[in-house]
Amino acid sequence: MDELHADLLVIGFGKGGKTLAAAMGRLGRRVVMVEQSALMYGGTCINIGCVPTKALIHRASARPEDADPQAWYSASVASTATLTSAMRDKNFRMLDSLDSVTVVTGTAAFLDDKRVEVVAGDDRLEITADTIVVNTGAESVVPDIPGLRGSAHLVTGTDLIGSPDLPRRLAVIGGGYQGLEFAAMVRRYGSEVTVLEVADRILPREDEDVAQAAEEILREEGITFVTGARVSQVADTADAAIVHYEANGAAGTVEAEAVLAAAGRAPRTAELRLEAAGVRTTANGAIEVDEYLRTSRPHIFAMGDVNGGPQFTYISLDDYRIVADQLSGEGKRSTTDRLAVPYTLFMTPPLARVGLTENEARAAGRSVRVASKAVADLAAMPRASIVGEVRGVMKFVVDAETDEILGAALLSVDAQELVNTVALAMRSGVTASGLRDAIWTHPSSTEAFNEVLATVVR
């Protein structure tokens, strides 16, 4: 078995890991980056996550009415594959061009808390390192439903974006963020889409009025929803799958060429042999970390989705900042510094949110005022009419006593950008009145804040 020593070993080529490897390499540290597959250089986001899904969503919105759905979808998948391949190559070269960084492709597993074995076919490599960072991300969860895991028609999000074949009918098990994003995308390409959600409504973590507005838009797009649906079985036929469910006391079925399991993603730790290193995990399988992302072994860190935090690539990037501060800075930065972290569901128009929902704020005992207005009723947002997208709603939750912005839900054109302005305002202590009275460019989506925040009521 070959042996290699490193100052820093990073397992997983995700956003936080690759950024840390490059930064430490430029400082002259001896760094080894291990990635299980050459098709995952750069991590989940650019290969099977954010970039390909958003590229396909964009292409779906650009489909001409007279374009053949299957042909347009196949071309879109091919175009997206070209994009991700170029980005993957760029990410590899970013590390491979550094003399102090070595990229190793293979499956890593701990031998003890300082030694890791990497296997690639018959090849074995033992790496010892003073500091080890686990950045292996997460993987799709397939619910334990009879017949589902063995179905020839089961797909994950990764499968869906990688196949050039557009399913004529798609059944989505799960009406959360992942399920709805894929449902909206595939529907725009021309598929018949049915979403089965076990809760009594979609997006159960959002306020009911916001979730209802999103559902109305998606129904308008042609998506069918069955809420309160408990899937009991998936049975394959010759060329499709029959999804059996019960909802509101009645049995029902959905027939589809593809069944998307959209039950979330779980930390990827099974192959790491963490017990050999004495690294503890939480009840849901995530690596247990403190606010500095140190595991139960202080020289081993966990970054990104694998540590159980919010599953966003920008959180992984912030994880890098925390670990880098531990390795070469003052050691002060921590997860407790994070305030007002936004997120976006890329339906059309997108739904972006930051901070507390109205329900969460009231449950926390806050005295709340709400500002809310339908985009179609906003005179101060002509951009919505200019681009032909006037659907949606903007909602702010404001502390009635301090005028502090507690949260916002923005279902509108440009929401993925607007929410960053709101988040920055929240972190900087800008009040609702301050955001309301700010000067914005025209015609822009941001100027809607002037009008929406003028409607604050108890």
For the chain, how long is the longest CA-to-CA vector? Answer: 70
Q: How far apart are CA 163 and CA 342, in angstroms?
A: 31
Q: Which of 58, 244, 299, 442 is catalytic?
A: 442
pLDDT tens, position by position, 216-241? 999 999 999 999 999 999 999 999 99
Beta carbons within 8 Å of 204's beta carbon, 6+ residues apart: 176, 211
Binning pLDDT at 50, 70 and 90, where does residue 364 land?
very high
Binning pLDDT at 50, 70 and 90, where does residue 1 land?
low
Topology classification of domain 343-455: Enolase-like; domain 1 (3.30.390)
Provide the pLDDT for residue 456: 84
- Tell me the whole-structure pTM to 2 decimals: 0.93
Tell me the one-letter amino acid at 238. Answer: A
Q: Is there a catalytic annotation at residue 244?
A: no
pLDDT tens, position by position, 92-151? 999 999 999 999 999 999 999 999 999 999 999 999 999 999 999 999 999 999 999 999
* Straight-line distance from the first to the last Cα atom of the chain, in angstroms, rounded to the nearest whole number: 69
Q: How far apart are CA 349 and CA 372, in angstroms?
A: 17
Mean pLDDT of all residues in 332-356: 96
Domain locations along the chain? 2-139+266-337, 154-263, 343-455
Token reading at 282: 């939480």
Binning pLDDT at 50, 70 and 90, where does residue 458 land?
low
Does position 202 have pLDDT exceeding 80, yes or no?
yes
What is the average pLDDT value for the chain, to the nearest integer? 95
What count of other Cβ atoms lies within 10 Å of the Cβ of residue 363?
Answer: 10
Q: How far apart are CA 362 and CA 307, in angstroms?
A: 30
- Determine the CATH number of domain 154-263: 3.50.50.60
Q: Helix (H, G, I), strand (E, B), or coil: what is residue 270?
A: coil
Mean pLDDT of all residues in 24-44: 95
Mean pLDDT of all residues in 244-264: 95
Does position 372 have pLDDT exceeding 80, yes or no?
yes
Q: Helix (H, G, I), strand (E, B), or coil: what is residue 402?
A: coil
Which residues sit opposite 352 in a β-bridge?
344, 410
Decide whether 154-263 matches 343-455 in CATH topology.
Answer: no
Among 213, 218, 210, which residue's Cα sits nearest to residue 408? 210
Question: Does 69 sit behind a cis peptide bond, omega within 30 degrees of 0 on the bond before it?
Answer: no
Does position 155 have pLDDT exceeding 70, yes or no?
yes
- Determine the CATH number of domain 2-139+266-337: 3.50.50.60
Cβ-contact 256, 160 below 8 angstroms: no
Token reading at 94: 């970013």
